Amino acid sequence: MMIGPADAISVVGFPFGIKAGGVYPVWATGFIASEPIIDFNNLPIQLIDCRSRQGQSGSPVLAYRSGGAVAMEDGSIATYPGPVSKLIGIYSGRVNAESDIGIVWKTSSILELVRSI
């Protein structure tokens, strides 16, 4: 799945410890805020614009589409009969307390960390 600036993403977690239905995470939706192929501050970080809050650090960040035509990285279009998602990375907080700009460690950095262990 291709993603770019202004594409929708979701931080799937437990803001302020809130659980939907007693056990399910809350999907806070926002947008890609920086170029996915560019590392922020020379780190494997992606910026997002999302009203994420305390309790969501460590949450997966997904590009989720409910189905239908989805643009792919190779320029093609794939059609899905149901939901499809792509892991963008792991949410680790906002750039500062007054901002909705959040920091996401890219999937590539998480895979590198796991392989190094």
**Domain boundaries along the sequence of the chain:** 8-116
Structurally, at CATH architecture level, domain 8-116 sits in Beta Barrel (2.40)
Mean pLDDT for the chain overall: 94
Is 90 exceeded by the pLDDT of residue 54?
A: no
How far apart (Å, rounded) are the C-alpha atoms in residues 9 and 106?
Answer: 13
Residues 112 and 90 sit within 8 Å (Cβ to Cβ):
no
Is 90 exceeded by the pLDDT of residue 97?
A: no
Residues 68 and 79 sit within 8 Å (Cβ to Cβ):
yes
How far apart (Å, rounded) are the C-alpha atoms in residues 116 and 103?
Answer: 22
How far apart (Å, rounded) are the C-alpha atoms in residues 96 and 109?
Answer: 22
Rg (CA), the chain: 15
Summarize the confidence of residues 55-72 as an average pLDDT.
Answer: 93
Residues 90 and 59 sit within 8 Å (Cβ to Cβ):
yes
Helices assigned H by DSSP within 1-117? 107-116
What is the pLDDT, as a whole number, of residue 55? 86
